[in-house]
Amino acid sequence: MTASAELGLPALTVSPGDVATTTLTVRNDTDIVEAYSLEVVGACASWTTVEPARLSLFPGTSETVTIRLAPARSHEVRAGEFPLGIRVLPAERPELVTVPETTVTVTPFRELRAALAPRRRRGWLRARYRTSVRNLGNTAAVVTFAPAQPGEDVRFGFAPERLRLAPGESAETRLRVRARKLIWFGKPATWPFEVTVGQEGEAAKPDGPQPAERQHVLEGEFVQHALLPKWLLALIAALIALVLAWLTLVRPAVRSSAKQAADKAVEQKAASFTPAPVAAPPAPAPGATPSGQGQQQGGGSGGGSGRSVPGTEQQFSTTVDVTTNTGGSAVGAYRVGHGKVFRITDIVAANFQGDQGLLTIKFGEQTITTIALETFRNQDYHWVTPIEVPEDQTVTASVVCQQPGTPASGKQATQCHELLNVSGQLSDIKR
């Protein structure tokens, strides 16, 4: 005499996220009233329940319970075939335990999670991004990447070009974006692009695209800056103006030197000339004053007043170069010479690496501006009324470096590097 138990289906198929049911019939073939405990055993136990989990049967009677299989849609529930057993344990006669079994097939599903970081990069010719992917499906996946950009302005490269991920595994691939040509002057150009992340071997359905969980479209942007910034153009213009001013001042000096040389040659020729003798003038009458004597007796005028002649005013430009390590600070300065005054009309601040941090500009004791480095690449200021920096005062650029940027070479810098170009008029102080 024993107890018998029989499952309703010899095999079951269930999809993660869905529910499948079957039955279990327990019969009491003993001659006593028996209570039975029903317990799920096997790999499916964590997501399988028996309702009810306890029975009490009279001799010769039977009862049917429901088996519910509800696997979660998770990478932890792997696809494949797994045994399912229900342990039927009698309370009075535990030695008569029985374990009916069946096979459960968990169907595969595919799901990816992908992200592009950072979404926007800046550079002169190229930029680098990271594409991170996680396999949320319950089966292994080979992940592929397909870039797209309107037109043919940039080129793409992935390393590696595909990833093989086990369920729940994450990995990254490096994306390189490179413009086809440099921008020498002008405004920055923005190149938007997309990266489609999918799984190898999946073709689009005839009646529509793939499900959203099977592919991801990541949007990115590459902002290409001009190779030569605006402040450099201003500097070139200032240099041309200085050259023209130099030519204007030097040419009259050359002409003056030539004239002096010619005059000196004439004087030497005149000194070597011997004049013909002339008759002596008649003797003056007695008591007469010789010609010119009165003038010789009269005294000449006194010396100069002693005032110094005012100095000249000229266009002047200087550059303050500041470098500092990550987390540090540094100050670059230009000191106005003694007896000079610097009237500033233009400044250009250059953050050509795209560093992150803080820049403070001072004229003497006056703070002109404090700006975050990450908000600009080139920044210029102009004044109609010049700002005067007196003698022995300084023009300073203070830099606090939070993180060095990435220059046009594509390799991240090890130090922050900023330039400050200051232009105006440098004059002598009138005393």
CATH code assigned at 16: 2.60.40.10
300 lies in some domain: no
Residue 309: per-residue pLDDT:
39
Domain assignment present for residue 241? The answer is no
Task: Give the closest residue to 110 by CA, choosing from 87, 136, 90, 134.
Answer: 136
Query: What gap in Å lies between CA 70 and CA 16, rounded to an integer?
Result: 7
- Whether residue 373 sits in one domain with residue 337: yes
User: Both 343 and 402 in a single domain?
Assistant: yes
Q: The pTM is what?
A: 0.49
Residue 125: give the domain boundaries: 112-202+213-224
Are 126 and 80 within one domain? no
In this prediction, residue 70 carries a pLDDT of 95
Residues 79 and 178 in one domain: no
Residue 374 burial (C-beta neighbours within 10 Å; 0-12, 13-18, 19+):
middle
Asked if residue 177 belongs to a domain, the reply is yes
168 close to 77: Cβ distance less than 8 angstroms: no
Residue 289 domain-assigned? no
User: 327 and 422: one domain?
Assistant: yes
Same domain assignment for residues 128 and 181: yes
* Both tokens assigned to 57: 């049967």
In tens digits, the chain (431 residues) has pLDDT values of 567 888 888 899 999 999 999 999 999 988 899 999 999 998 899 999 999 999 999 998 999 999 999 999 999 999 999 999 999 999 989 988 999 999 999 999 999 999 999 999 999 888 999 999 999 999 999 999 999 988 788 999 999 999 999 999 999 999 999 998 888 877 888 999 999 999 886 544 444 444 545 678 999 999 988 887 767 777 888 889 888 887 887 655 555 555 566 566 646 654 554 444 444 444 444 443 333 333 333 333 333 333 333 457 889 999 999 999 999 999 999 999 988 999 999 999 999 999 999 999 999 889 999 999 999 889 999 998 999 999 999 999 999 999 999 988 888 899 999 999 999 999 998 77
* CATH value at residue 419: 2.60.120.1330
pLDDT of residue 424: 94
Examine residue 230 and state whether it is found in any structural domain, yes or no.
Answer: no
CB proximity list for 244: less than 8 A, separation 6 or greater: none
Residue 350 Cα distances to 78, 315, 343, 376, 404, angstroms: 56, 21, 21, 8, 14
Same domain for 335 and 413? yes
What is the number of domains present in the chain?
3
If asked whether residues 122 and 84 sit together in one domain, one would say: no
Contact between 395 and 387 (Cβ < 8 Å): no
Write out the H or E segment, with its range, that includes residue 115: strand 112-117
Q: Which helix (H) or strand (E) holds 403?
A: strand 394-403
Same domain for 92 and 131, yes or no, is no
* Together in a domain, 56 and 153: no
Determine the pLDDT at residue 184.
84
* Residue 176 Cα to chain centre, angstroms: 14
Beta-strand ranges (E) seen in 15-110 are 20-28, 34-42, 48-51, 54-57, 62-69, 80-90, 101-106
Q: Which structure tokens are listed for 114?
A: 């992908």
Predicted pLDDT at 37:
94
Instruction: Return the pLDDT at 298.
Output: 35
- For residue 57, tell me if it sits in a domain: yes
7 and 53 in a single domain? The answer is yes
* 117, containing H or E segment: strand 112-117
Q: Which residue, 293, 324, 319, 311, is CA-closest to 399?
A: 324
Q: Which of 224, 258, 274 is the last residue of a domain?
A: 224
> Does a structural domain hold residue 321?
yes
Residue 119 belongs to domain with CATH number: 2.60.40.2310
* Closest C-alpha among 393, 397, 412, 379 to residue 330: 397
Overall residue count recorded for the chain in this entry: 431
Predicted pLDDT of residue 344: 95
Asked if residue 120 and residue 69 are part of one domain, the reply reads: no
